[in-house]
Amino acid sequence: MDPLNRILIAILRRLPENLIKPVALRYIAGENLEDALRVVGNLNVRQMMATIDALGENVSTREESLQAVQACERALQAIREKNLDSNLSIKLSQFGVKIDDAFCRENVKRILRTARSCGNFVRIDMEDSSLTSRTLKLYGIMRGEGFENLGVVIQACLRRSETDVKTLIRNQVNVRVVKGIYVESETIALKDREEVRRNYLKLLQMLLKTGSYVGIATHDDFLVEGAYQYIREMNLPRTVYEFQMLYGVRAKLRDQIVADGHRMRIYIPFGKHWHSYSLRRFQENPQIARYVLQALLFRNH
């Protein structure tokens, strides 16, 4: 990240939440499940799918984890009741992986059972590198126990990801490919933008060639064009992949991908923990941070 962007992020971190919230909520459905369901319904009308994320991670108590499980179960049940086209994304640190592995596994299993009874699907998001191995291990355990309604995420910025993909593709997998937003050391992560792009396309090609279902998660025109090329070259049916984007980001590109006939899923976060989520998004995309600061500076002009 260049020095100016670092300064922008530092400024936003120090601003009162009530100043940031009106602008930040452009990228979040709202604080309540009902807000997320409303957004999903609007997207479905426009021929787009969704994945709901009940915000909150790095919990410190079992009680918080169990509350998060209940929130996810309510979301899955509401999706079924309203007949919406949406699945669920979760983070293991929200379900107690840093408290106790066995406790976390039981929480995830409970969510998967609820999802299965609702005819739905759950994807485990990736977090920072300290949880990569544990996330992939839990994913393997759950698949081994017969939960087919489960997917995982691979981060193109991590040097280990090619090896991880080679392991994953031994089985039929459902993988979301992302660049990765967490700040990692150069020993384990690629730092050059073009290197990350090349690795993204390499991993994407590996997965598509071996019959995995792939969520092509990107807002990068270069990567979208690369994905289009692979899709054409492999003559892939539209049912074996989908594009994925964040709510509120690059709507014109999103709409163009849909107009081109590809499936699109939008990541819909909601909840009280919107502030920490927003700061991560600003760090990932400093241009959004600039929009936020401009909106704050000129809102009365």
* Catalytic residue status for 2: no
High-pLDDT (> 90) share of the chain, %: 75
- Which pLDDT does position 254 carry in this prediction? 97
Q: Give the pairing type, strands 264-270 and 174-178.
A: unpaired
Whether the CB-CB separation of 204 and 226 falls below 8 Å is answered with yes
At the topology level, CATH places domain 29-270 in: TIM Barrel (3.20.20)
The whole-number pLDDT of residue 22 equals 73
Q: What is the model's pLDDT at position 286?
A: 65
Report the pLDDT value the prediction gives residue 210, as an integer from 0 to 100. Answer: 93
pLDDT (0 to 100) of residue 128: 92
Catalytic residue among 125, 143, 164, 254: 125
pLDDT confidence of residue 298: 60
Contact 53, 28 (CB under 8 A): no
Q: At 256, list the tokens.
A: 């163009």
Catalytic residue among 176, 197, 254, 265: 176
**Phi, psi values for residue 269, rounded to 5°:** -85, 150
Give the pLDDT score at 285: 63
Identify the bridge partners of residue 232 per DSSP, sorted by sequence position: none
pLDDT value of residue 25: 77
Which positions ≥6 away from 119 have C-beta within 8 Å?
A: 80
What pLDDT score does 5 carry?
Answer: 65
Positions of the chain with pLDDT under 70: 1-5, 9, 275, 278, 280-301
Between 132-144 and 161-168, two packed helices, what is the crossing angle to 10 degrees? Answer: 0
Biggest distance spanned by C-alpha atoms of the chain: 59
Length of the chain: 301
- Smallest CA-to-CA distance from 175 within 198, 208, 144 is with 208
pLDDT value at residue 169: 95
Residue-level pLDDT at 36: 97
Question: Is the distance from CB of 146 to CB of 125 less than 8 angstroms?
Answer: no
Q: Tell me if residue 176 is catalytic.
A: yes
